[in-house]
A and B are shown apart, each in its own frame.
Chain A
Amino acid sequence: MSAAPQKAKPGAEQLAVRVSAVVPLNDLVTRFEFQRTDGQPFPTFSGGAHTVVTMQDDGRTRLNPYSLMSDPADTSTYAISVRRDDQGRGGSLFMHTRVKQGDEMTITYPVNLFSLDLRARKHLFFAGGIGITPFMSMIHQLEQSNGNWELHYSVRTEALGTYVDELKYKFPTKVHVYYDDQSQSIPLETLLDGQPLGTNAYVCGPKGMIDWVHATASAAGWPDAQVHSEEFLAPAPGKPFEVRLCKSDKTIQVGENESLLEAIERAGVEAPFLCRGGACGQCETDVVSYDGEFIHRDHWLEPEQQAGEKIMPCVSRFVGKSLELDR
């Protein structure tokens, strides 16, 4: 339209931040707080939003999404809580072992793929483990507007109950905690029965829990549109493989501990992305030809698209002789 059209950049807009606090919460989870280096206020955001943190790890760039768990109305500080994953590809380990107070980092503007349905008469939250984080900001938001909510939070042990004490202290009647090691579990069927008309349910936690809530709610007659979930997939490690990028005329190697998207970026090829967790659809890439098998891990593509038509390079991999992508 204008004289010099501006090409959209991959990823969301960036914010330069300084780590203002590193707060270990228990053996596995640490909270990181950020302030802007330019002294400007942060944008407000909506409960359930995440940010993508850029980590410079010995010449290697890692980009991991984390739910913002601070108060969305607090424009002085953003906070994320990171669970250490010793088996993962190293992003959470980098955060835990390398990031110190005072460090400068880059994070993206908030992006929300797990927002509240503001029409809901009641919000029913189900959290498992580190899946508590998006609900922390949602609860802040709803408390400011006298929202009707209830949290059912499943943790392994009392010692690993991230934010349990704070939540139970502030909202003793709304927060219900279940301890695995005490053989407690969320009474899902009972809870889904008899909720007021217009209740929306939200679940964040391990994949098994998400599937369980969706299946149980569906069997109990809940409309799918009233059951929301968010599962961030960390890209899983896998066997190295080779990919031909035909538009950019390059052949690249995808290493064991990097994602296909990261390998594409490392080769200097610009590729669109947003969540880097298989949920948003931005990095969808056409498959030109292949001889082998895909390891699809995204929540985005339809099964027929996964049958050799498209791939989500942020989380999915490939095993076989050859793969050619339209990138």
Chain B
Amino acid sequence: MTIQFNEETFRDDYSFYNSDWAIKRFPFPFHEDSYMYSVNMEQHRGGPKGSVYEMRFDVDEHYVSEMRDRAMVLADDPLRCQSLPHMTLAGWDLLELIMVSKSEDYPDLFELHRDGNQWRWINKPLGIDDTFTFMDETTLPYGPMEYITRQAQGDFCVLDQRDEMLWMDAGMVTTQADWSLDFDIGMNFFEWHAPVPLAHEMGIFKRALKFLLNIQQGAPARRLNWTMTVNPLLDTSPENYHKWGIQKTTLTPENIGSKQHLRVELQSFFRLPRSNALVFPIRCYLCSFQDLMTVPKWGRRLHRVVRDLPVELATYKGFIDNRPMMLDYLEQFDDGLPTSRGVFPDLETEPPLTKA
């Protein structure tokens, strides 16, 4: 399949949009009509054809525009990409993982030709054709992690594993849900999760850490996380909160359908072979409420989830003030009918909205 890449922006005029194809494959995160934390991990070994779960690193219609947005963020703030000195080997591991995966999964878009340590990488969507020496940083325009993550959608945290603990020792973070790599760099797993409410008391992080420490080569895992974002902003960072935080006050009953977006992170976890580090790609997908409402099952379910979410979570996710307006909007799309299990749209089997 050849992807038509959108010409769009994630800032200023917000021309971002999802095609019908992108809406139907949106990773809707709620498998039932309510939501509570769980470690909710599963193996990352493909998924239904055409879904965002199918490939190791999903490439979609937003690829070229997202990479352009990343370059702009980095130009303004180079500290969004950092790698402590001992993480260079992990950077090469990541470069290899992404190049091999993309060239195998999308041979029409990416090519990798290897002759010993002489590698040629062709990225057709971005117009890149580079030859370099694997493991020789001087032959690339950036360090290996920065080089490849300027060409891969989603944020990347590269975690060192030492003393039965994970450490945030490298990353490329420009599309984050209000956290800062520059603040978290060098922190351990419990330190960087300290701001999350309820989950510590529930023992979630202890269990999650144990799971992650045991992720092995050849057996990657994945999970979903979600939040809410007003306007299709990729860069909702603390560094730029003064720019985007205020936009949460611009919601009105008239514009909420197009301005309010559900933001979903497809998080995956791969053990890196040479460094024994763990890479944690966090891929952000955005979908406006009005686009989500074209899927009757999602309309019914989103209303119920947002309505019943504990106050702590709605506060932490930053939409407690807008929740009443969201519910007024979403309520129109919930006719009280039951919903099918699982996250997929089930357009053929789920009844259309029966409410005027």
- A residues lining the B interface (CB < 8 Å): 1-3, 5-6, 8, 12-13, 43-46, 48-49, 72-73, 109-112, 115-119, 141, 144-145, 225, 274, 280-282
Closest to A11 in B: B216
Give the contacting residue for A13; candidates B29, B218, B276; CB below 8 A: B218
Judge if B342 is at the interface, Cβ distance under 8 Å.
Answer: yes
Chain A residues in 8 Å Cβ range of B276: 46, 48-49, 112, 115-116
* B162: min CB distance to chain A, Å: 6
With a cutoff of 8 Å between Cβ atoms, the chain B residues found around residue A73 in the complex are 274
- Measured between C-beta atoms, what is the minimum distance from A203 to chain B in Å? 16
A280 vs B31: C-alpha distance in the bound complex, in angstroms?
32
Report if A1-B223 is in contact (Cβ < 8 Å); known contacts: A6-B43, A109-B218. yes
Bound form: Cα–Cα A1–B275 in Å = 30
Q: Is the CB of B273 within 8 A of A44?
A: yes
Residues of B252-289 at the interface with A, using a CB-CB cut-off of 8 Å, are 273-276
**Contacting B216 at CB < 8 Å: which of A2, A12, A119, A281?**
A12
Question: Given that A12-B219, A274-B216 are known contacts, is A2 also in contact with B162, CB under 8 Å in the complex?
Answer: no
27 A-B contacts, Cβ less than 8 Å apart?
A: A1-B29, A1-B31, A1-B40, A1-B222, A1-B343, A3-B344, A6-B42, A6-B43, A13-B216, A43-B273, A45-B274, A46-B273, A46-B275, A48-B276, A109-B216, A109-B219, A110-B217, A110-B273, A118-B86, A118-B87, A118-B89, A119-B86, A144-B135, A145-B89, A274-B216, A281-B210, A281-B214
Closest residue of B by beta carbon distance from A284: B210
B163 located at the interface, meaning its Cβ lies under 8 Å from any Cβ of chain A in the complex: yes
Chain B residues in contact with chain A, CB under 8 A? 29, 31, 40, 42-43, 45, 47-48, 51, 53, 84-87, 89, 135, 160-163, 210, 214, 216-219, 222-224, 273-276, 342-344
Question: Within 8 Å CB of A282, what residues of B?
Answer: 214
Which residue of the partner chain B has the closest CB to A225?
B163
Question: Bound complex: CA of A45 vs CA of B53, how far in Å?
Answer: 26
Bound-state Cα–Cα, A43 to B86, Å: 22
Q: Is the interface of B mostly helix, strand, loop or mixed?
A: loop
* List of A residues within 8 angstroms of B219 by Cβ: 8, 12-13, 109
The answer to whether A3 touches B48 (Cβ under 8 A) is yes
Please determine whether A6 and B216 come into contact, CB atoms closer than 8 angstroms.
Answer: no
Contacts of B163 in A (CB 8 A): 225
CA distance A295 to B281 in the complex (A): 42
CB-defined contacts of A49 to chain B, threshold 8 Å: 276
A-side contacts of B84, CB under 8 Å = 119
- Please determine whether A8 and B43 come into contact, CB atoms closer than 8 angstroms: yes
A43 touches B42 (CB 8 A): no
A2 touches B343 (CB 8 A): yes
A43–B161 contact, CB under 8 A? Answer: no
Tell me which of A46, A109, A281 has the highest count of chain B C-beta atoms within 10 A of its own C-beta.
Answer: A46
Contact B47 A13 (CB under 8 A): no
A35 to B274, CA, bound (A): 19
Q: How far is the CA of A13 from the CA of B44 in the complex (A)?
A: 13
Contact check, B42 vs A1: say whether CB atoms are below 8 A apart.
Answer: yes
**Shortest Cβ distance from residue B84 to the other chain A in the assembled complex, whole angstroms:** 8
Shortest beta-carbon distance from A60 to chain B in Å: 25
> With A12-B216, A46-B276, A117-B162 known to touch, is A3 a contact of B42 (CB < 8 Å)?
no
Choice from B31, B47, B162, B274 contacting A141 with Cβ under 8 Å = B274
Across the interface, which residues of B come within 8 angstroms of A145, CB to CB? Answer: 89
> Are A46 and B274 in touch, CB under 8 angstroms?
yes
Query: Nearest residue in A to B343 (C-beta to C-beta)?
Result: A1
**Residues of A close to B224: CB separation below 8 A:** 1
A144 to B92, CA, bound (A): 14
Residue of A nearest to B223 (CB): A1
Known contacts A1-B222, A141-B274; decide if A45 and B45 are in contact (CB<8 Å): no
CB pair B275–A280 under 8 Å, yes or no, is no
How far apart sit A172 and B18, CA to CA, in the bound complex (Å)? 64
Among B31, B45, B160, B343, the residue within 8 A (CB) of A118 is: B160
